[in-house]
A and B are shown apart, each in its own frame.
Chain A
Amino acid sequence: MIAIESLCKSYDGTPVLDGVDLILPQGGVTAVIGPNGAGKSTLLSVMGRMIRADAGRVTLDGRDLATAPGSEVARRLAVLRQDNQPSARLTVQDLVTFGRYPHSHGRTTAQDRVHVARAIAYLGLGDLADRFLDELSGGQRQRAFIAMVLAQDTDVILLDEPLNNLDMRHAVGIMALLRDAARDLGKTILVVLHDINMAAAYCDRIVVMQDGRLIHHGPPEEIMTDALLSRVYATPVTVHRVAGRLVALY
């Protein structure tokens, strides 16, 4: 279980996170939605220990993530940020193998190789395994980074806009993969999404953020309403039920 307790973060006096409280039970996919600048990415960065919070804390099964040993946390929580511009020329295989680093510390075991091969296969990267990241398209690269996070095989996975650059097929494939991982393997997944229809279709819960605050939290049926979405996005939005699914039109 992940507990976020009154998390605050500001840049130059402007609050980006303004007292965020949230409890994520083990298992399930939770989407974070909200307009630009709502603090979604900052929330994930603080949870992923990349940014220090000004106040508040994040705990995983009672342990404060900011003070727990880094290598220990890395075996339990993985985070993928937006904009993954590889600065080093690594092959897809190398990158995904680095996902095992918290477990192997460089000495790759047979078990590590199984995890790596499985992650590469899940994301359909088999043919690209020996290619360098800088020789791939944006979408292929994004899939390689997701494969790395999967190979890390953590209980908690945080993803910041993982569907960026992905075509329909791969976007749907990844959302289905996340849903299955949560359902079958009990993973706790928090994913920032721009596409609210994706969030409604694949996630168990949706968290809505606005101006650094968490303003709503509930199952898709509760969140997908004309009034709420129109207000949050400051744009007329209507929600319809199409073929049994909630779809927002805007």
Chain B
Amino acid sequence: MSTPVTLWTAMAVLVLSCISLCIGAGTFDLQALWTDGWHASEVEVLLVSRLPRTLALILAGAGLAITGLILQILVRNRFVEPSTVGTTESASLGVLLVVLLAPGMPVVGRMLVAATFALAGTGLFLLILRTVPLRSVLMVPLVGIVLSGVIGAVTTFLAFRFDLLQSIGAWTMGDFSVVLRGRYELLWIVLAAVAMAYAMADRLTVAGMGHDFATNLGLNHRSVMTLGLVIVAIVSAAVVVTVGTIPFLGLVVPNVVSLALGDNMRRSLPVVVLGGAALVLVCDIMGRIVIHPYEIPIGTTMGVLGSALFLWLLLRGRSRVA
């Protein structure tokens, strides 16, 4: 049942990638590429701008979708994703501090700092969850949103004091229009994260059934949780550092896939990864053609499309989604 779904999503990603490569502000004509060969200006556009952008979209989409999936499985709540539990906000705070304290730091160092902050922020969230009595499934994302708000406020205050409000705008609102060759390569780390998540898919699924369930099967629940959260932190940080945050993606894609295929990660993970890539490509293509040759940032298009999808999910399968 899952193999054809995986295949179809993969095809969709392929087709969308081709469309994504063919549209943009610069002139780009496949025919010219064919007639003028390797020297055409099209090659330059393709290699420097179009291809990096499409690859960045695919990697960021796939990455954010698995961070949502892993968080939902580990926290055992359908309504969490990196931007509703403080992960993304903590990463942004980390980036801001790097900009303030060590502006010359290379992008990899920046990402590592962001990842450390992301991990700490997510850890804080889990710590709060342990002490708060959770009477409703909605308490979990509410706690997360409050925490995100607090961390976000600290970031905004610091940025305000040091006149950096403009810059934090850049990494809190996802934008792929600035992606060029040499500026997105960090995102390849997503590929490693996906491979790692797939390798530990069974362990993550078992951990998602809870501490007692995992213990009975001889699994160290705590270490699986930690490893899963490290993946989430690194991917979130890599995405924040390179393209900024994209809302709803980590929420919508894993939920839709869960409804159709369930939560056995061995089966659902490939579809979640490809689905995330496909949704990001769709949103980016929309943002690029609506007011062509100008662009709407992907954060906005995803906000519109993602919230619509999310509302549909909420209204459709109330009992099941919760």
A residues adjacent to B (C-beta < 8 A): 45, 48-50, 69-75, 78-81, 86-91, 94, 98-99, 101-102, 105-106, 132, 134, 149, 152
Contact = CB atoms under 8 A, between A and B. Distances in A.
A70 B211 contact: no
Interface of B is mostly: helix
A242 B266 CA distance: 53
B263 A89 contact: yes
The 5 closest A-B pairs by CB, nearest first: A74-B218, A71-B218, A88-B263, A106-B202, A87-B76
Contact of A88 (B73, B203, B216): B73
B316 to A, nearest CB: 15
B217 to A, nearest CB: 5
A105 B219 CA distance: 10
B79 to A, nearest CB: 13
Contacts of B217: 74, 98-99, 101-102, 152
Interface of B: 73, 76, 201-203, 205-206, 208-212, 215-220, 258, 262-264, 266, 320
A48 B215 CA distance: 8
A91 B260 CA distance: 12
Nearest to B72: A88
A70 B262 contact: no
A75 B218 contact: yes
A78 B263 contact: no
B262 A91 contact: yes
B208 A87 contact: yes
A102 to B, nearest CB: 5
A49 B215 contact: yes
A87 B209 contact: yes
Contacts of B206: 98, 101
Among B73, B212, B218, B258, max chain A CB count under 10 A is at B218
A89 B209 contact: no
Contacts of B262: 88-91, 94, 132
A44 to B, nearest CB: 11
27 contacts: A48-B215, A49-B215, A50-B215, A69-B218, A70-B219, A72-B218, A73-B218, A78-B216, A81-B212, A86-B209, A87-B210, A88-B208, A88-B209, A89-B262, A90-B205, A90-B262, A90-B263, A94-B264, A98-B205, A98-B209, A98-B217, A99-B217, A101-B206, A105-B202, A106-B201, A106-B266, A132-B262
Among B76, B201, B210, max chain A CB count under 10 A is at B210
Contact of B202 (A49, A91, A101): A101
Contacts of A152: 216-217
Contacts of B209: 86-88, 90, 98
Contacts of B76: 87-88
B264 A50 contact: no
Given A90-B209, A90-B263, A94-B264, 18 more contacts: A48-B215, A50-B211, A50-B212, A50-B215, A71-B219, A74-B217, A88-B73, A88-B76, A88-B263, A88-B264, A89-B263, A94-B262, A98-B209, A101-B218, A101-B219, A106-B201, A149-B216, A152-B216
A193 to B, nearest CB: 20
Contacts of A70: 215, 218-220
